[in-house]
Chain A
Amino acid sequence: MTPDPVTPDPVNPGPVNPGPVNPGPVNPGPVNVAAAPSGTRAGTDLLAAPGRAAAVDSGFRMLALGAGLLVLAVLAAIAVSTTQKAWPAFRLEGLSYFTSSDWNPTQHRFGALAFIYGTVMVSAIAVAIGVPVSVGIALFTTEMAPRRLRSLVVTVVDLLAAVPSVVFGLWGLIVLAPWLDGIYDWISARTRGVPVLSSLLAPGVSGTSYFTAGVVLALMITPIVTSVAREVFATVPANDRAGALALGATRWEMIRGVVLPHATGGLVGAIMLGLGRAMGETIAVALLIGGNPRIYASLFGPGDAMPSVIARNLGDAGLYPDYRPALIGLGVTLFVIVVVVNAMARWGVGIAQRRMVGAR
């Protein structure tokens, strides 16, 4: 946008009608002249008069405000209306909605504990595998990789984010699950007789299990955790790194002594962000977790998670009374958990950012 180079000739229309409409708030110099659009009226006139231009301006303002308020209303409606639709189930079950694992729509009993357990287990596995991998990749790109390799790695990780979750589910179900099943059997055979592990790692039913879902989720949260971790590592002041290296630290000692302490808050944020993603993931988990409405003691056994129960059953939930509210209630529960987790994430990242500002 360059200003119209039309006007600075002596015949300019600017000062032609400097009548009473013109309060002349600005200096009537060349700036005003340039402001005059090569159209019908003088620039100064246009500035002051409450004419069409002003109406358009306030109209646009109203449009933007309206859009903002509409977005606000839609987002608020999502929270309010889902809670409202779920209320019958909460009222029916009370606290036992969260503490009972008896989920039996035909018997009109809705205890969601098994699904809460499944969601927590699956996302815990995803975070336990995904976060170290993501931090490793982030360290590799920020601290170790040569520049050219760096952009390649970033592209690969971004590609991982572009794969739709249902494709992860398909691949996990047909390719990964049968392969993991053999590994589960091997691990189960090795841990038989060990007190806790023997039940936690007991052989499952088939390849679909908490653990399979967790492994695929780990892959799915890797891009977001990696990119946040990378940004956090990038905020570590270069002087601190150089100082540590100048003192004779190896790269690992520099990372441990300078990068990681500086990045703790941000890393907590990245982990929470990944956790939020893992908890809300629906389709891949629905395909991979096995679909069993009870708590299964072994991680290699089938269970179910809140979003996948919704996905599988909402379609014909109208058959039983209160089934639909109960499923929507799962959504609300998930919503609340994810919002809390994300709030913690933002808090962690906020700490990291404040530290970065302080370091400068």
Chain B
Amino acid sequence: MTTIAPPGPIDDRARALLGGGLALRRRVADALVTGGCVAALLLAAVPLLHLVVTVASRGAGAITPAWFTRSIQGNVGQLASQGKINYAFAGGAATLAQGDIVLGMQPAIVGTLVITGLASLLAIPLGVLGAVYLNEYGRRSRPASALRFLTDVMTGVPSVVMGLFIFSVWVVPRGATGLSALAGALALACLMLPIVVRSTEEMLKLVPDNLREASAALGTRTWRTTVGVVIPAALPGITSGAMLAVARAAGETAPLLFTIGAVTRTNWGIDGVTTALPMQIYANATENTPEQALMAWGAALTLIVIVVVCTVLARVVTSRFSFRPT
């Protein structure tokens, strides 16, 4: 046992330790799996890259100053056949040639901003207060557990169900005046509410109890502790959660399909029918003329920019101001 082993086998074993002597099968399996994981990454990254490049290159042609100021052309195909809209299409990308009418998308851009903004106004304060109740007051009481359970369930519920809900309890009973930006905002708010509640509660949980105790020891009442200590400490997390909910809501189509109607003129108000970028993409995606496809791609580019700005803002807020317990 204790004798020194002969030199030959030791060399082999040493080489085995270094990996050179591993059975070929084991090395190949390892390399295959590593390659498989890289391939998986490429399988997701390549379509994403292709999508982003396609949207940018095909949509860029539509983005002119008029895009943000004009109303939507209803009969694009017909106007194009009359030579009133002159885009030159080369390899999918469009460039503006001389023409009478330049495509506009203002109603949808305004609609998306109004509807999403209104939905945020409805959902974020309510959601944050609900989370404050969950974490600061309700804790493990029965209503709190019921609320927590329901928000958990609702985060997974398909967005189309939110549209169905607002459609059946708000739009249908109101008849002709039912379709409006407000109805769309209500549907989006239903979608955002569980997301905001959950993310805010998680952030409030992260605030150390030391802060609450210190504040209480100074004789501060619970509401002042909450408003003055807990919420400020958790604010970056709450903000980023809210921004992500906004980004999600801005890109949603399904809840708007039967709640906002359709219109080609800008509606700045919350009453009356309106339109939104996802709706324009959906409506123009199935059309055949290159001008209508251009409208869809342009709307897609505008929408992605809005969503990405929200997402990036959320990330910046989290990383810049994130709460570090020391």
Contact = CB atoms under 8 A, between A and B. Distances in A.
Interface stretch (B4-12, B64-72, B223-231, B265-273): B223-231
Interface in B28-79: 29-30, 32-34, 36-41, 43-45, 47-48, 50-52, 54-55
A9 interface: no
Given A82-B161, A82-B168, A334-B161, A170 B281 contact: yes
A135 B44 CA distance: 12
B300 A170 contact: yes
Interface string A56-100: 110111011101111110111110011001000000000000000
Nearest to B50: A175
Given A75-B150, A174-B285, A251 B30 contact: yes
Contact of A159 (B48, B150, B281): B48
Task: Determine the main DSSP class of B at the interface with A.
Answer: helix
Interface string B92-135: 00000000000000000000000000000000001101101110
Interface residues of A, number: 102
A248 B19 CA distance: 9
Given A85-B168, A164-B303, A338-B157, A171 B220 contact: no
A3 to B, nearest CB: 5
Interface in B252-289: 252-254, 257-258, 278, 281-282, 285-286
Contacts, number: 288
A283 B34 contact: no
A69 B143 contact: yes
Contacts of B286: 173, 287
Interface of A: 1, 3, 26, 31-32, 34-36, 43-44, 46-47, 53-54, 56-57, 59-61, 63-65, 67-72, 74-78, 81-82, 85, 132-137, 139-140, 144, 153, 156-160, 162-171, 173-176, 219, 222, 226, 248, 250-253, 255, 273, 276-277, 279-283, 286-287, 307, 310-311, 314-315, 324, 327-328, 331, 334-335, 338-339, 341-343, 345-346
Given A1-B232, A170-B281, A255-B33, A342 B293 contact: no
Contact of A314 (B36, B143, B258, B278): B258
Interface of B: 16-17, 22, 26-27, 29-30, 32-34, 36-41, 43-45, 47-48, 50-52, 54-55, 126-127, 129-130, 132-134, 136-138, 143-144, 146-147, 150-154, 156-162, 164-165, 167-169, 190, 193-194, 197, 211, 215, 217-224, 226-229, 232, 247, 250-254, 257-258, 278, 281-282, 285-286, 293, 296-297, 300, 303-304, 307-308, 311
Contacts of B160: 280, 282, 307, 310-311, 331, 334
B195 to A, nearest CB: 12
